Amino acid sequence: MKITWMGHASFRIEIDGQIILIDPWITGNPVFPEARRAEAIAGATQILITHAHSDHVADCLEIARETGATLVGQYDLMGYWAEHEDLATIGFNKGGTVQLGKVAVTMVHAVHSSSFAGPNGPIVPGTECGYMIAGEGHTIYVSGDTDVMADMAVFNDLHAPDIGILCAGGHFTMDMKRAAYAAKTFFDFKTVIPCHYKTFPLLEQSAEALIEGLPGVDVKEPEVMEPIEF
């Protein structure tokens, strides 16, 4: 299994025969080298969306058309795109599980917001979410954009994820200290990968507080387009 950070909250996950892109944002992403776009999206089988903000969905429709990957996410957003964009989608909702080949993906709650710009103002199709992605003997918790939630205790009881991909940049989401609190209070991760940071000066630039807050956990500060192998 390989997890590759594409900068910000975008990831490429190669797992059990699937290549799943999470919230792919390439065009205009300050930390992504656009010359590596083809490499980043090659072979994509699904595009998993946590919410509709532009820094999470800016490239997903174009990538879906280019690669033939299926868009997967919250029912209302997928329904909107299926109707207006004529693309293959899988829409489901919180608590539901879909099977992507051998990979099981369960949608879980997140606390944030979700909208994108429309001709007459913001369009709000559906709500924000996170995911549990299970395959190859691992379960990955993708938090999406969120703050700490007591719901996380339930997520751990039901799914026992060993890998956490946690937003941790602050301002728009929980910061490094809050992400560390969430991880040590509600989960028993072996590995934590922070994201949604370093993209802009407004966000946290270092994972030091997360590392200090999680002794005994392998906190991996990802480098853009450098795969982390499990």
4, pLDDT greater than 80 = yes
Contact between 168 and 183 (Cβ < 8 Å): no
Give the residue ranges of DSSP H helices in the chain.
37-41, 54-57, 60-67, 75-85, 151-159, 176-186, 208-213
Rounded-to-integer distance, Cα 188 and Cα 146, Å: 19
Rounded-to-integer distance, Cα 129 and Cα 115, Å: 13
Rounded-to-integer distance, Cα 160 and Cα 167, Å: 19
Which CATH number applies to 2-220: 3.60.15.10, 3.30.460.10, 3.50.30.10, 3.30.450.20?
A: 3.60.15.10
For 45-81, the pLDDT digits (tens) are 999 999 988 888 999 999 999 999 999 999 999 999 9
Rounded-to-integer distance, Cα 81 and Cα 76, Å: 9
Distance of CA 99 to CAs 24, 86, 129, 132, 155, Å? 21, 22, 17, 12, 18
Domain range summary for the chain, segments of one domain joined by +? 2-220
pTM of the shown model: 0.96
Distance of CA 38 to CAs 27, 30, 48, 67, 163, Å? 12, 17, 18, 10, 27
* Band of residue 21 on the pLDDT scale cut at 50, 70, 90: very high
Rounded-to-integer distance, Cα 134 and Cα 13, Å: 11
